[in-house]
Structures are given as C-alpha cells and as structure tokens.
Amino acid sequence: MKLAGRPLCPGVALGPIHVLPEAEKPGKNAPKGTPAEELERLELGRQRALDRVNGQQSAALEKLGKEEADIFRLHALMLEDRDLLETVRCAVRAGACAEDSVREAGETFAAAFRALEDPYLRERAADVEEVSRLWREALSGNLGRLELGKPAILCTGEIAPGELIALEREKVLGLVVERMASDSHAAILTRAMALPTVVGLVPRMDWEGAFAALDGETGELYVTPEEKVRDRLMEKAQAQRKIQTELVAFRDRPACTRDGRVVSVCANIAAPEEAALARREGAQGVGLFRTEFLCLNKEQCPGEEEQIALYRRALEAMEGRRVVIRTLDIGGDKCPPWLEAGRGENPALGLRGIRLSLKQPELFRLQLRAILRAAPYGKAALMFPLVSSAQEVRAARALLERCRAELEAEGLPAGEVEVGVMIETPAAALMAGELAKEADFFSIGTNDLTQYTLAMDRQDPELDGMYDPHHPAVLELIRRTVEEGHRHGRRVALCGQLGADRSMTKTLLQMGVDELSVPVGEVLELKAHVSTLDLSE
C-alpha cells in the first residue's frame, strides 16, 4: 500500500512499524468519571505501574545485580507510600482528574526531596518523578509509550518536543506523524535528530508490526511494499550514504563562495551531545543553542550547577569555537510541566521568550549565572529570544551585569560573553537600528519572523504552503535588519529554517548575512552548496 504524505525531513527508513498510543495531555484535564470512579481508575493504574516496576526489578536482578535492582525496589516502595497515596487520593476525592492528581503530588514530593540537605535524599526527587510518570502512563493506557523494544518506524497522531527528546534515537528508523507543522518546534527537533519524517498521514492500528518503507524526501510511505519498491529505496539509502561520504571533504574547510566571500556555517543544537556531532560535521560554531529543550520534559527547571555542566559540555565539545546560548524561550507551545505562566488564551502572542524571563527574574537569574560561570570553558555568547523593544534588552543586560557582580562578590569565576538579540518579531526588525546600539550581534529567527509578519501560526499544519518565509515582506525585514546591523558594525547571523533552504542561500548572502546556522545534518551540504555560488553574478 502506497500513501502520499508531506515530506518533512529527508532520508529513507526501512523496517517494522510501531504505532504509538496517544500522549498524555498536559495542563488541567477533566476527570473521566465521578470521584469514586476516578479512585478506582487510580488504583488500577497504580497496580499496573507496580506490576511493571516489579518486573523491572526482577529483570535488573537477573541481568545486572542487586544494586541496580534496588532502584526499582525503591520505586515499588514509593508506589506504596502512604503519604503519597493519601495526597493523590485526597485530590481525586476533591474532584480532580487522576492523572493531574498524580502529576501534582509527584511535583510536590519531588520538590520536597530536592529541598533536603542530604545529597542522597535530594537525588530521590528524580525517582519520585519517574514513579509519577509511570503511574500516569499506566492510567492513560500509555505505559512504556516511548520505550521501544527494537528499531522501528514510529507512527503517531502527534508528538511533543519533550517526547522526541526522550526517544532513543538509534531505535527510531523513521517517523510518520499525522499533525506536525513544518516549522513547529517538534519539526525542528526531528531535523536536528536527522530523522526521516513524513507528516499528514493518519496512522492505523493495524499497521503495527508491518514492514514499511518511508521516503522523507518525497513524503511517501509504503506499508508492506512490493519487492521492487523495497529494492529501489534500499538503493536510494545507499546512494545517500555515498553522498554523505563525499561531503566529508568539506568538513575542515571554511565555506567560501567562488568569488571569495567567506561565510560562517554554524549549527543549531538542542542538547550538549549535539555539539560534538556539530563539530564532527564541520560546523564553525553553534549559532543557536535552544536551551529550553533541556528542561521541557523535566518536572523541575535544572538548577544552576546542572545548567553549568550542560553548557560546559557544549562549549568544550566545540573546542574554542563560539557557542551562542539562547536564554530560555519557553511559554507558548514550549511549556514545561513546572511552568505555570505562558499558557494564555493566545500563547504565541503571550508571555514567551524574553518577556517571560523578565517576568520571572529568579528563573532568568539562574540561567544567566550558569552561562557566566560556564563561559570560561570555551567561547560563549548569549542571546535573547522574541525581543520586541530596546527596553527589554536593556533590562536583560542590567540583570546580566547584576549576576556578574554577585558572582564576583561570591568569589566565583564569570567569563566574558557577547550579548546578541534575536530578530524574530517585525518590531525588532523595524527597530534594528535602535537594537543594534544595545546588542553585540543579531541573529534573525525566520521561523517566528514569518509567523508574526504574516500573522500565520507556524504550528498550524493547515497553513503549510501559505506560511511562507519567502514572502517579500519577510525578505524585506531581513534586508533591513542586515543593513541596520552592518551600519552599526554588528555581525548579522540567520538561524531560522530559511538558512537551510538552499534555494535562498545566494539571496541571503547577497543581502549580506554573515552567518547561517542550520540543523546539524544540513551543515556539510550547506558548506558544499556555498562553495558553488558566485555572488557577483
């Protein structure tokens, strides 16, 4: 059976299909029955979670040893803990939904562990979170939703950015998603993971286990393909591997056009491990480190020390090349479970990016301190997302300087960092001259710039084809930003998905863009492409 979806991320995948059950909905959910029925459901879920944990305990004892098995024994004990059970049951009796009650109690208990002095007990917070997750999965019939036994092509209605991060990459051959817009954050991650992906197809439960072939370049999915289709796609996969090998020649060369313009080609990353990959692919720096992905699927925002370790890993992996750490761009479609704010009626226009950071200075301070403290381990820069006024940049820089002074007073080292501004709202592009006085560099975020210029939701799959970063209004804002940035002696980078659109490379470089930052998997091809261009033609 041949199905025609929309291509999202190129690459060929061949293997068995695994259909993922629907994910848990974040936020407040309505109870599925009366409190008595919810209590019954709650208990059933707990028993299922307990069975699973007991199974994990026996398996660990057999394969690993007593110490490892004890982890699961502890999880079983937590699922029997009277205080935890009573807290959850109490919320359910008061009319809350079972899943929400488990999540909220889990967060409260994890926070209590985290506040303890004893480092061993502090670490138990992660165990409570794990138990809460298992219980919730058991409740919604999703137990082990993301645990893959063997490599497979995953098919699902929807998948959240946090879930994508939780996947074991080597077990995911390809992805078929019914609802995913091309410039959504989930789409950005699939590209970062170089995961062959087709969207717009409705998965069917009876595909489970069937052999399939997927072509992320054409958007085709073949369920139980004929032999000749299978052979053709196998050959295509082989040819793609060959091209990848040839591209390696560009790894250690700078990207230079035929008429001699040297262009910096950098990588966008969402996790420190990707920095090592970016380096191996010949990226000349990290132009965008989306730090929010470090905390999206956590029950708590990573603390200062944890953040330092994460940034340090990325900085060290880049061996002295610049890493632009973007401060948390949360709110809107990227709301971690621990965040109350940013879930307004109209989230894309709500408390997001720098606005949210300035409203939650404690959270912002934590990250700024971590970036300053990690900076001595490499060449760090930071930048602020979704800026729409010079006042926001001044306020953010003032807080940065206060953090620096605090660290000095505490005798802790703080490195030098350049401070950049993302140009991703029409206001920022139109005020680029003003903003250039406050910023050391610009980075144009064409994904949001397109969304806000055209007033088209980048998350909405129904707008695919209409949401158009090539629109003359978007290009005019890019042109003005580069012009104003250069007039004030600022470097102008571009880190939105348009940077990886090779049909636009020449136009962007002719406008004067100094740096293109693209998903890791695109770096080599873009370097090769730049070397074929003559900007004087």
Catalytic residues: 185, 495
CB of 334 to Mg ion, least distance (A): 10
Element (H, E) at 333: none
Residue nearest to Mg ion (CB): 448
**Which of ligand PEP, Mg ion, none does residue 525 bind (CB under 5 to 8 Å by kind)?**
none
In the list ligand PEP, Mg ion, none, the entry touching 290 (Cβ below 5 to 8 angstroms by class) is ligand PEP
Query: Which region, judged by CB under 6 A, interacts with ligand PEP, from 32-40, 53-61, 193-201, 445-453?
Result: 445-453
Q: Does 130 bind ligand PEP (CB under 6 A)?
A: no
The mark string for 53-92 relative to ligand PEP (x by CB under 6 A, - otherwise) is: ----------------------------------------
Q: How far is the CB of 487 from ligand PEP (least distance, A)?
A: 23
Does position 522 bind ligand PEP by CB under 6 A? no
Q: In the bound complex, what is the minimum distance in angstroms from residue 483's beta carbon to ligand PEP?
A: 19
Are 190 and 520 a contacting pair, CB within 8 Å? no
Q: Which long-range contacts (CB under 8 A, 24 or more apart) does 101-108 make?
A: 101/42, 102/42, 102/45, 102/132, 102/135, 102/136, 102/139, 103/132, 103/136, 103/337, 105/132, 106/131, 106/132, 106/133, 106/135, 106/299, 107/132, 107/299, 107/300, 107/337, 107/338
Nearer to Mg ion, 172 or 266 (CB): 266
**Under rule CB under 6 A, which residues in 329-348 are in contact with ligand PEP?**
329
Cβ closest to Mg ion, residue 38 vs residue 424? 424
**What residues does 224 pair with on adjacent strands?**
none
b/e per residue, 422-440, with b = 16+ CB within 10 A? bbbbbebbbbbebbbebbb
Q: In whole angstroms, what is the distance from residue 349 CA to residue 358 CA?
A: 16
328/384 Cα distance (integer angstroms)? 8
DSSP 8-state assignment for residue 388: -
How far apart CA 270 and CA 251 sit, in angstroms, is: 21
Q: Quick one: which segment of 44-52, 314-322, 438-446, 456-464 binds Mg ion (CB under 5 A)? A: 438-446
Q: Sign of the CA dihedral 7, 10, 12, 16? A: negative
Q: How far is the CB of 157 from ligand PEP (least distance, A)?
A: 23
Query: CA 264, CA 526: separation in Å to the nearest integer?
Result: 10
CB of 424 to ligand PEP, least distance (A): 5
Pick the stretch among 36-44, 289-297, 366-374, 423-431 that binds Mg ion (CB under 5 A): 423-431
Whole-number Å distance between alpha carbons of 356 and 240: 43
Q: How far is the CB of 293 from Mg ion (least distance, A)?
A: 13
Q: Are the C-beta atoms of 503 and 475 separated by less than 8 Å?
A: no
Look up residue 304 and give its two tokens.
């200062």
Q: Which helix (H) or strand (E) holds 70?
A: helix 66-79
Q: 478 with 508: CB under 8 angstroms?
A: yes
Q: Shortest Cβ distance from residue 448 to Mg ion (Å)?
A: 4
Pick from 100, 130, 438, 448 the residue near ligand PEP by CB under 6 A: 448
From the list ligand PEP, Mg ion, none, which binds 446 (C-beta under 5 to 8 Å, kind-based)?
ligand PEP
500 binds, among Mg ion, ligand PEP, none (CB under 5 to 8 A by kind): none
Is residue 188 close enough to count as binding ligand PEP by CB under 6 A?
A: yes
Core vs surface per residue 318-333: b (16+ CB within 10 A) or e: beebbbbbbbbbbbbb
Q: Within 13 Å and on the Cβ side, how many CA atoms surround 291?
A: 31
Backbone dihedral region of 361: left (phi > 0), alpha (psi from -120 to 50 degrees) or beta? alpha
Among positions 439-478, residues that touch Mg ion (CB under 5 A) are 445, 448
Residue 495 touches ligand PEP, criterion: CB under 6 A: yes
Both tokens of residue 372? 């300053």
Q: Select 101 or 451, whichever has its Cβ closest to ligand PEP.
A: 451
Q: SS3 letters for 130-197?
A: HHHHHHHHHHCCCCCCCCCCCCEEEEECCCCHHHHHHCCHHHEEEEEECCCCCCCHHHHHHHHCCCCE
H/E element holding 51? helix 35-63
Q: Residues 285 to 304: which contact ligand PEP by CB under 6 A?
A: 288, 290
Binds ligand PEP (CB under 6 A): choice among 132, 140, 190, 447:
447
Q: Which is nearer to ligand PEP, 96 or 495 (CB)?
A: 495
Is position 382 an interface residue for ligand PEP (rule: CB under 6 A)? no
CB 291, min distance to Mg ion, A: 13
Choose between 143 and 188: whose C-beta lies nearer to Mg ion: 188
Please tell me the distance from the alpha carbon of residue 399 to that of residue 383, in angstroms, as a whole number: 14
196 binds, among ligand PEP, Mg ion, none (CB under 5 to 8 A by kind): none
Quick one: what does residue 495 bind among ligand PEP, Mg ion, none, with the CB cut-off 5 to 8 Å set by partner type?
ligand PEP
12 binds, among ligand PEP, Mg ion, none (CB under 5 to 8 A by kind): none
Using rule CB under 6 A, residue 424 touches ligand PEP: yes
Work out whether 446 is an interface residue with ligand PEP (CB under 6 A): yes
496 forms part of the interface with ligand PEP (CB under 6 A): yes
| Contacts with ligand PEP, residue ranges (CB under 6 A) | 188, 288, 290, 329, 424, 445-448, 495-496
| Contacts with Mg ion, residue ranges (CB under 5 A) | 424, 445, 448
